[in-house]
Structure 1
Amino acid sequence: MHTLREAPMFDWNDLRFFLEVSRRGRLVTAARHLAVDHTTVSRRIQALEERMNTKLFDRTPAGYSLTPAGAQLVEYAEAMETTAFAIQESIAGQDLHLSGTVRLGAPEGFASAFLGARLHRFFAAHPGIQIDLVAAPRYLSLSKREADLAIGLARPTSGRLVARKLTDYRLCLYASPAYLERMGTPRSLKDLETHDFIGYVDDLIFAPELRYLDKLVRTPQVVMRSTSLIVQRDAAVDGLGLCILPCFVAATAPGLVPVIPKESSITRSFWLVTHADLRDIVRVRMVAEYLRDLVKRDHDLLIGRSLDRIDANASTATATSA
């Protein structure tokens, strides 16, 4: 029987190599980030497996994938890394050189029309971190680890999830000048009953927060439906019909014109959600902090401040003509 003193112990430093391979999936890529030769990485992984008497990776032509034991070890190794970074940050006062991947799930419109063009400053500050941005017309399951962070349309009500409101954003009706010239410009909500609309596929709407067209028109005449907000935007640009779009999405198509913005204005919210087990992982926390700073900096765009100016100008013009 082995005593605690006699029990073999792995080299703690081997966990750095293990984590890097788990994140990169290939020895050569992991070695590049660790600034060592790939044979060194291979040797350290092999030593760790021998010390732990278990297989941590399946080796395939496509790369290294975690075994169930490896996936279990990742959780412990991540916690140890987080503690090490906390010590380095708070006691040693040194800059953090983070590495690894953060998978971020976001609604397609927000990912495509907002986030994609605003991540360069994060990568400049943290070149070792890779972000997998999953733009999907559905919720990603954090409990099933489909993502490390997710941006949702509502605060989750179940599961071991930590949520914080990220930002409000504003939507209103938009149309192309060509459509308005052909069909006329609506002046009130009642006028909308004779217009064509672009919207979501009803039975594929994944969140009740997306059911806003019926709030403006009792029986909208929808000529095209799509699960993609970007497709809806492009159809509106092409003059197919009126479309309710977030202001930040409409801003990516300068030809679109807001239609009765005061009456058609709708406010929704984005929530930043992560699993309770991941909220203290340093690289996940860094991405979350960057997202909060990002929406704060572009708050006017997200809440459609330009629409307020349009309303103010319209009110002034009405008062002047009176």
Structure 2
Amino acid sequence: MIIFDWNDVRFFLELSRKGRLTEVAKALKVDHTTVSRRVLALEEKLDAKLFEATSRGFVLTEAGERLLPQAEQMESASATIQDMVGGENQTLTGTVRLGVPEGFGSQFLSGELPAFQKLHPKIELEFVANDRFVSLSKREADLSITLGRPKSGRLISRKLTDYRLRLYATRDYLKQHKPIRRREDLRHHNFISYIEELVPDPQLLYLSDVIGNPNVNLKSSSIVFQFQATLAGAGVSILHCFAADEYPELVPLLPEEISIDRSYWLNTPEDIHDLARIKAVSDFLSDVVQRRRNKLMGEKDG
């Protein structure tokens, strides 16, 4: 029977995810030689080569691929023990990484974080601001917020909230261009939108639903860039109400006629769904979107 150190397995997992000794060393706050030594110790115990060094970094061998799911189970069991043994009165600690759409993270959630820090001062939050699907199975994140429900993976998914988008332009832009009184008037205006081939989700291609063949003269893969460009008066764009309504210089255009509703989904791997720190973040997110529903839907409070 082979007995090996869980810490060696932890180094193996980190190297399988990050691919480079220096990145693992930084994450685990050790020297890169320690990472190499720990992984080598595990290989010697198992009498198997787990990684191949390539120009892209360290990649798993067949033996490493076979070990990976078992190592992830050990990681999950270790985290569960830490959460359970301390008892209910123990202060929640640890790191939780959340994959979140760029606009929702930077223009909505960031303003709510001081309240979370007061509730759980020893939980360290990491945000991966990305509109693509982060891989929860590869532990790119512990939770993810997505525009749709993932179609595969051992995940627990639920709808987090609905939200609304509208067409906006600045007051200065509207003074300098032809008036917009009906949908047909939009054909005379310049639009800001996504780069179609770089859109991570087809749900973001809503501009063509609003106006056929729009004159798009400024494109970006970043919704925050689009927002700032609109705020600078560069054109008309579709923006999240939760962000745009905070700026009085931004005017919703044809709001009774043009609005787009979408949903965010919250996803967690089955094996860590019940961990206390994961539940703390999940519960906080649910509370925030419930309290701020009017903001998310572009409705006035009260």
Question: What is the CA-CA distance between 1:252 and the residue it aligns to?
Answer: 4.6
**Contact 1:137–1:228 (8 Å) recurs in 2:** no
Change (3 A) 1:160 1:77: closer
Give the share of equivalent positions with the same residue, in percent: 39
Q: How does 1:42-121 map to 2 (within 5 A)?
A: 73=71, 75-83=73-81, 85-86=83-84, 88-89=86-87, 93-99=88-94, 101-121=95-115
What is the aligned residue count? 274
Tell me the alpha carbon deviations over residues 102-158 of structure 1, each in whole angstroms, 9 at most, x when there is no partner: 111111111111112211222232232211101124221223322111110011122
Q: Which residue is equivalent to 2:292?
A: 298
What amino acid is the match of 1:98? T
Question: What is the CA-CA distance between 1:202 and the residue it aligns to?
Answer: 1.2
Measured in 1, the distance between the counterparts of 2:116 and 2:130 equals 22
Question: What is the CA-CA distance between 1:76 and the residue it aligns to?
Answer: 1.9
Measured in 1, the distance between the counterparts of 2:98 and 2:248 equals 28
Structure 2, gaps ≥5 residues long = 15-22, 48-57
Measured in 1, the distance between the counterparts of 2:291 and 2:123 equals 22
Q: Which residue is equivalent to 1:319?
A: none
Measured in 2, the distance between the counterparts of 1:139 and 1:149 equals 11
Residue of structure 2 aligned with 1:182, choices 176, 183, 186: 176
Change (3 A) 1:265 1:165: same
Measured in 2, the distance between the counterparts of 1:162 and 1:199 equals 32
SS in 2 for 1:287: helix
Q: Normalising by structure 2, report the TM-score.
A: 0.76
**Contact 2:9–2:71 (8 Å) recurs in 1:** no
**Contact 2:123–2:277 (8 Å) recurs in 1:** yes
Tell me the alpha carbon deviations over residues 186-208 of structure 1, each in whole angstroms, 9 at most, x when there is no partner: 11212212221111111111112
Q: How does 1:88-167 map to 2 (within 5 A)?
A: 88-89=86-87, 93-99=88-94, 101-167=95-161
Measured in 2, the distance between the counterparts of 1:70 and 1:220 equals 48
Q: How does 1:268-307 map to 2 (within 5 A)?
A: 268-306=262-300
**Contact 1:150–1:274 (8 Å) recurs in 2:** yes
What amino acid is the match of 1:219? N
Tell me the alpha carbon deviations over residues 15-53 of structure 1, each in whole angstroms, 9 at most, x when there is no partner: 799979x999679x879xxxxxxxxxx9xxx9xx89x95
**Contact 1:201–1:227 (8 Å) recurs in 2:** yes
SS in 1 for 2:125: strand
Q: Which residue is equivalent to 1:197?
A: 191
SS in 1 for 2:238: strand
What amino acid is the match of 2:200? F
Q: Normalising by structure 1, report the TM-score.
A: 0.72
Question: What is the CA-CA distance between 1:226 and the residue it aligns to?
Answer: 0.7
SS in 2 for 1:155: coil
Residue of structure 2 aligned with 1:249, choices 214, 237, 243: 243
Quick check: which has more Rg, 1 or 2? 1
Measured in 2, the distance between the counterparts of 1:8 and 1:188 equals 74
**Contact 1:142–1:150 (8 Å) recurs in 2:** yes
